[in-house]
């Protein structure tokens, strides 16, 4: 049985020889199977695997990192890494020109952004991951104006010199037993270990899953921020100490990625701060427009705050869909102009979709058991037009709201 790649194999991968093979593999038009046959003639099975895996990971990583073709990843490290736009935004909340720390740094998504703010200290107990993060940090410092010196340590987080740092960030493992969990007490490191770190240095940011179940003490002390990009809520960050600008409040932040002529990630920012669970007034009637709050607003439970700000009402009690007669463009809302309201009936809907030649139908649903994919198959008709169908409840009735994006 062949052993998996060793630490020396990873050192080879990030070195000059590994770089040669990676460059050659990236330039060829051959598929991975063809490349494997050629690589096996020159490399050990472990190093052949690393080269092919790295090529595949770099292709996938382009969704997260503009410099992906020069970075190094592991499958888990890439999956768990903060993308460069979210990381850049989070880093902007840290003080500049001071020493910062990133604990459980993985392949370095957040670490790279922090290194653009000050001298960055990265810590991960996995020596392979720490090695790759260090290589990625060197790449950043070669390509961008990163502060010097930045360092990487393969050690336990308890050994990190947090008392010397102005602030720190941590990304605890959400699946230490192999299965993802939203319970923070089951993360690694867990609540007691993180609270010991907070006792040493209270200026901290803790990266968590959007649906994380937090200890009550954290919810009361921290500012909780849900961050979305591309319509998806990417993470929850709990800000403590001097990093918390609105302690015990919730924040929803929406990032809209922008093309960047330089080397720094560029984005537009929309943020909403308030107390969660504010009651949403119910509209007396369905207006001309339907508005759907961004995923970060929903996760932060700030729909009531947003509805009040935009003078909108819910289409029904406990519904997250809002309605009004005036279109008010806002990154926190997706707007739809309502063209038809009718009881949910597949036969009637199919006739309507056919009549309007709707060949591209987006389907959204809330509070009903219907499967959007099954409904889409039943309503599939030829046509060049596009529409969005909402399946939801109005009172006791299940209704279909046909609309167009605005």
Give the span between the Cα atoms of 149 and 130, in whole angstroms.
Answer: 16
In CATH terms, the superfamily for domain 78-272 is Vaccinia Virus protein VP39 (3.40.50.150)
Closest among 294, 295, 296, 289 to 311, alpha carbons compared: 289
What would the DSSP string read from start to end of 299-345? HHT-HHHHHHHHT-EESSTT---EEESS----TTEEEEEEEEEEE--
Amino acid 139: pLDDT: 83
Scanning the structure block, which residue is given the tokens 């609309």? 403
> What does the mean pLDDT of the chain come to?
92
Q: What is the pLDDT of residue 252?
A: 98
Is the CB of residue 369 less than 8 Å from the CB of residue 346?
no
Q: Alpha-carbon distance 14 to 135, whole Å?
A: 7
* pLDDT confidence band for 143 (50 / 70 / 90): low
Average pLDDT over residues 85-90: 97
Contact 84, 64 (CB under 8 A): yes
Angle of helix 45-61 relative to helix 7-14, nearest 10 degrees, comes to: 60
Q: Per-domain residue ranges for the chain?
A: 7-61, 78-272, 289-405
Q: How many angstroms separate the CA atoms of 116 and 298, rounded?
A: 31
Whether the predicted pLDDT of 289 surpasses 50: yes
Q: How far apart are the first and last CA of the chain?
A: 58
CA distance 75 to 391: 37
Q: Count the helix, strand and coil residues of the chain and give each as a percent rounded to the nearest 5.
A: 35, 25, 35
pLDDT at 53: 94
**Does the pTM exceed 0.95?**
no
CA–CA separation, 138 vs 269, rounded Å? 29
pLDDT single digits (tens) 186-242: 899 999 999 999 999 999 999 999 999 999 999 999 999 999 999 999 999 999 999
Question: How far apart (Å, rounded) are the C-alpha atoms in residues 330 and 272?
Answer: 11
How many CA atoms lie within 13 Å of 322's alpha carbon, on the beta-carbon side? 30
DSSP secondary structure letters along 112-129: HHHTTTSEEEEE-S-HHH
pLDDT for the residue 109: 96
Check residue 239 and give its pLDDT: 98
DSSP 188-227: BS-HHHHHHHHHH---EEEEE-TT-B--HHHHHHSEEEEE
- Average of pLDDT values for 88-100? 96
Task: Name 377's Cβ contacts closer than 8 Å, sequence gap at least 6.
Answer: none
The sheet carrying 119-123 orders its strands as 151-153, 119-123, 99-103, 167-170, 204-208, 232-239, 223-229, 250-258, 266-274
The residue whose two tokens read 């060793």 is 6
Taking the C-alpha atoms of residue 99 and residue 168, their distance in angstroms, rounded to an integer, is: 9
Q: How far is the C-alpha of 110 from the C-alpha of 160, rounded, in Å?
A: 17
**pLDDT level of residue 263 (50, 70, 90 thresholds):** low
Question: Is the pLDDT confidence value at 283 over 60?
Answer: yes
Sheet of 289-293, strands arranged across: 313-314, 322-324, 289-293, 333-343, 397-405, 385-394, 358-365
The mean per-residue pLDDT over the stretch 309-328 comes to 95
Percent of the chain with pLDDT over 70: 96
HEC string of 258-308 equals ECCCCCCCEEEEEEEEECCCCCCCECCCCCCEEEEECHHHHHHCCHHHHHH
pLDDT (0 to 100) of residue 372: 96
CA–CA distance, 81 with 85 (Å, rounded to integer): 12
- Is the pLDDT assigned to residue 262 strictly greater than 80? no
Interval 59-83: pLDDT, tens? 999 999 999 999 999 999 999 999 9
Look at residues 170, 179, 154, 188 and name the one whose alpha carbon lies nearest to residue 103.
170
Count how many residues are written for the chain. 406
How much is the average pLDDT of 91-119? 95
Higher pLDDT, 257 or 123: 123
Q: How confident is the model at residue 182 (pLDDT cuts 50, 70, 90)?
A: confident
Section 156-179 average pLDDT? 88
248 DSSP assignment: T
Tokens (6 digits) for 32: 């991975």
Averaged pLDDT for residues 359-384: 95
Residue 1, pLDDT score: 47
228-237, 263-272, 352-361: which has the minimum mean pLDDT? Answer: 263-272
């Amino acid at each position: 049985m062949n052993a998996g790649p060793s630490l020396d194999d990873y050192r080879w991968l990030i070195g000059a020889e590994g770089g040669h093979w990676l460059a050659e593999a990236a330039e060829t038009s051959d598929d991975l199977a063809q490349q494997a046959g050629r690589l096996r003639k020159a490399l050990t099975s472990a190093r052949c695997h690393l080269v092919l895996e790295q090529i595949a990971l770099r292709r996938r990583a382009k969704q997260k990192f503009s410099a992906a073709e020069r970075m190094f990843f592991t499958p888990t490290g890439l999956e768990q890494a903060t993308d460069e736009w979210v990381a850049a935004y989070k880093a902007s909340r840290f003080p500049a020109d001071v020493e910062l720390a990133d604990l459980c740094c993985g392949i370095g998504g957040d670490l790279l952004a922090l290194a653009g703010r000050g001298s960055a200290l990265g810590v991960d107990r996995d020596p392979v991951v720490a090695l790759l993060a260090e290589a990625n940090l060197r790449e950043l410092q070669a390509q961008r104006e990163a502060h010097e010196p930045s360092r990487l340590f393969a050690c336990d987080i308890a050994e990190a010199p947090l008392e010397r740092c102005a602030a720190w960030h941590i990304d605890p493992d959400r699946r230490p037993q192999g299965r993802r969990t939203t319970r923070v007490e089951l993360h690694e490191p867990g609540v007691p270990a993180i609270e010991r770190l907070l006792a040493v240095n209270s200026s901290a940011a803790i990266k968590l899953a959007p649906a994380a179940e937090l200890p009550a003490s954290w919810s009361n002390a921290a500012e909780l921020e849900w961050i979305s990009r591309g319509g998806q809520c990417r993470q929850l960050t709990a800000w403590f100490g001097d990093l918390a600008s609105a302690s015990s409040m919730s924040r929803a932040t929406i990032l809209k990625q922008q093309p960047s002529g330089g080397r720094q990630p560029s984005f537009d920012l929309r943020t909403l701060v308030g107390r969660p669970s504010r009651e949403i007034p119910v509209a007396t009637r369905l207006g001309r427009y339907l508005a759907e709050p961004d995923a970060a607003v929903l996760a932060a439970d700030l729909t009531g705050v947003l509805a009040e700000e935009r003078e909108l009402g819910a289409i029904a009690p406990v519904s997250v869909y809002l309605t009004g007669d005036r279109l008010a463009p806002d990154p926190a809302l997706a707007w739809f102009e309502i063209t038809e309201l009718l009881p949910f009936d597949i036969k009637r809907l199919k006739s309507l979709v056919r009549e309007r030649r709707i060949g591209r139908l987006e389907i959204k649903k809330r509070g009903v058991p219907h499967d959007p994919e099954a409904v889409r198959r039943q309503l599939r008709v030829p046509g060049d037009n596009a529409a969005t169908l909402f399946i939801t409840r109005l009172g006791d009735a299940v209704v279909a709201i046909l609309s167009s994006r605005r």
